């Protein structure tokens, strides 16, 4: 009789534990679904803002002793994308590259350590080659989109792709700010990662919900099947005062480790000189066409 009662109690206890576990799993899944809805919506709005404004900015990057400065003009609505890249120090000091993407005419000018004067290295046909040149500018000026990009991919796409599994979402207070920490595990999603022997990525991102869920920091490891680290990257982003509600990036500090330990540090700084809405940009003196080929008469206006 006692044995049957004990079995009954144990059975009820196990059923209750399973019910609590199911509720916990449902609650966790519901929290992740809520996060993804809010995150995707806010980040889409932030990306839309960046796609509409005219941006003039100066960027500085220091990597492995090489210091590069970039002056960037993105007219977005007016279609002009322009970047001037200078290598100021290191073994490539003195090099300069200017990329201009403009539907009427896209081109690239280069100056090397040997050739001291700018020379034309690419000239697109009118109406052609614009998108490729635009993507080249965006790739070089990736820092401007760091608040919503990871590995050149919008974070709203990265966190919802089939290879990504969100392990948890929780609030953390960091330097007095309420942030959300999102823990992830991602299967190797590019051929490049797989060729390196990377099986999956795991780690976390931190976002600020009150600022379009802008990325604040991340700590991500690229791991092999035996859990050996191929690459470990930590990154922290610092923001200034918002402009028209947009989070304005000031700097990025990145630390990179490999299986043998510390590998290097990259420091980037960003100065937004001007951000104009389409209405403000239309009233500005500098038109997209004037800022394109017309700056270089030999190319034709």
Tally of domains within the chain: 2
Q: Examine the domain organization and report whether 92 and 223 are in the same domain.
A: no
Within 8 A by CB and 6+ apart from 128, the residues are: none
| Domain's final residue, options 228, 246, 264 | 246
Q: Examine the domain organization and report whether 226 and 167 are in the same domain.
A: yes
- Kindly state whether residue 192 falls inside one of the protein's structural domains: yes
- Kindly state whether residue 179 falls inside one of the protein's structural domains: yes
Mean pLDDT over residues 54-64, rounded?
86
Average pLDDT in the chain:
82
Q: Examine the domain organization and report whether 162 and 218 are in the same domain.
A: yes
Q: Examine the domain organization and report whether 183 and 44 are in the same domain.
A: yes
Alpha-carbon gap, residue 130 to 133, rounded angstroms: 5
Bridge-based pairing state of the strands 66-74 and 54-63: antiparallel
pLDDT at residue number 38? 96
Q: Examine the domain organization and report whether 156 and 239 are in the same domain.
A: yes
- Whether 299 shows a pLDDT value over 60: the answer reads no
pLDDT at residue number 258? 85
pLDDT at residue number 231? 93
Chain centroid, CA 132 distance in Å? 19
User: Angle at CA 216, nearest 5°, toward 212 and 221?
Assistant: 125
- Kindly state whether residue 262 falls inside one of the protein's structural domains: no
- Kindly state whether residue 241 falls inside one of the protein's structural domains: yes
DSSP state letter for 209: G
- Kindly state whether residue 34 falls inside one of the protein's structural domains: yes
Q: Examine the domain organization and report whether 14 and 162 are in the same domain.
A: yes
Q: Examine the domain organization and report whether 68 and 137 are in the same domain.
A: yes
Bridge-based pairing state of the strands 66-74 and 149-150: unpaired
- Kindly state whether residue 269 falls inside one of the protein's structural domains: no
Q: What are phi and psi of 47, to 5 degrees?
A: -60, -40
Q: What is the pLDDT of residues 238-283, one digit of tens each?
A: 999 988 788 999 999 999 998 887 778 889 999 887 777 666 656 6
DSSP state letter for 244: T
Q: What are phi and psi of 146, to 5 degrees?
A: -65, -25
Q: Hey, what are 182's tokens?
A: 């999102």
Within 8 A by CB and 6+ apart from 191, the residues are: none
Q: Examine the domain organization and report whether 45 and 156 are in the same domain.
A: yes
The helix/strand/coil state of 97 is: strand
Q: Examine the domain organization and report whether 7 and 21 are in the same domain.
A: yes
Produce one character per residue of 60-79: b if its CB has 16 or more CB atoms within 10 Å, e if not. bbbeeeebbebbbbbbbbbb
Q: Could you write out the DSSP letters of every residue in 166-197?
A: EEEEEEEEETTEEEEEEEEEEE--SHHHHHTT
- Whether 20 shows a pLDDT value over 60: the answer reads no
What are the CA-CA distances from residue 187 to residues 46, 108, 182, 194, 222 (Å)? 27, 37, 16, 10, 10
Q: What is the pTM of this model?
A: 0.79
Q: In this prediction, what percent of the chain has a pLDDT beyond 70? A: 80
Q: Examine the domain organization and report whether 85 and 124 are in the same domain.
A: yes
**Residue ranges in the chain assigned as alpha helix (H):** 2-52, 130-140, 155-158, 191-195, 278-282
Residue with the bigger pLDDT between 293 and 61: it is 61
- Whether 123 shows a pLDDT value over 70: the answer reads yes
Q: Examine the domain organization and report whether 292 and 162 are in the same domain.
A: no
- Domain residue limits at 37: 1-52+152-246
Beta strands in 64-137, from DSSP E residues, in sequence order: 66-74, 81-89, 96-101, 107-111, 119-123
Alpha-carbon gap, residue 183 to 235, rounded angstroms: 15
Q: What is the pLDDT of residues 197-240, one digit of tens each?
A: 999 999 999 999 999 999 999 999 999 999 999 999 999 999 99
The helix/strand/coil state of 201 is: strand
- Kindly state whether residue 167 falls inside one of the protein's structural domains: yes
- Kindly state whether residue 256 falls inside one of the protein's structural domains: no
Q: Examine the domain organization and report whether 48 and 158 are in the same domain.
A: yes
């Amino acid at each position: 009789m006692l044995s049957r009662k004990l079995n009954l109690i144990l059975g009820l206890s196990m059923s209750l534990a399973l019910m609590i576990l199911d509720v916990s799993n449902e609650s966790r899944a519901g929290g992740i679904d809520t996060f993804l809805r809010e995150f995707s919506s806010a980040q889409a709005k932030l990306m839309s803002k960046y796609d509409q404004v005219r941006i003039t900015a100066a960027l500085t990057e220091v990597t492995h002793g090489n210091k590069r400065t970039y002056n960037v003009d993105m007219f977005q609505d007016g279609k002009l994308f322009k970047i001037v890249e200078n290598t100021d120090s290191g073994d490539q000091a003195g090099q300069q590259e200017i990329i201009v993407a403009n539907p009427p005419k896209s081109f690239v000018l280069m100056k090397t350590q040997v050739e001291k004067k700018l020379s034309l290295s690419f000239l697109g046909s009118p109406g052609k080659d614009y998108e490729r040149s635009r993507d080249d500018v965006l790739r070089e000026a990736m820092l401007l989109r760091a608040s919503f990009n990871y590995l050149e991919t919008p974070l709203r796409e990265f966190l919802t792709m089939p290879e990504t599994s969100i392990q948890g979402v929780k609030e953390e207070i960091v330097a007095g700010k309420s942030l959300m920490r999102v823990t992830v595990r991602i299967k190797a999603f590019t051929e490049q990662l797989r060729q390196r022997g990377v099986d999956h990525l795991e780690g976390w991102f931190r976002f600020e919900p009150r600022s379009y869920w802008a990325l604040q920091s991340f700590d991500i490891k690229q791991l092999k099947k035996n859990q050996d680290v191929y690459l470990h990257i930590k990154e922290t982003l610092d923001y200034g005062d918002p402009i028209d509600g947009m989070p304005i990036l000031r700097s990025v500090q990145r630390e990179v480790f490999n299986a043998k330990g510390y590998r290097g540090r990259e420091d980037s700084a960003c100065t937004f000189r001007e951000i104009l809405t389409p209405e403000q940009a239309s009233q500005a003196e500098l038109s997209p066409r004037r800022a394109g080929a017309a700056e270089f008469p030999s190319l034709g206006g």
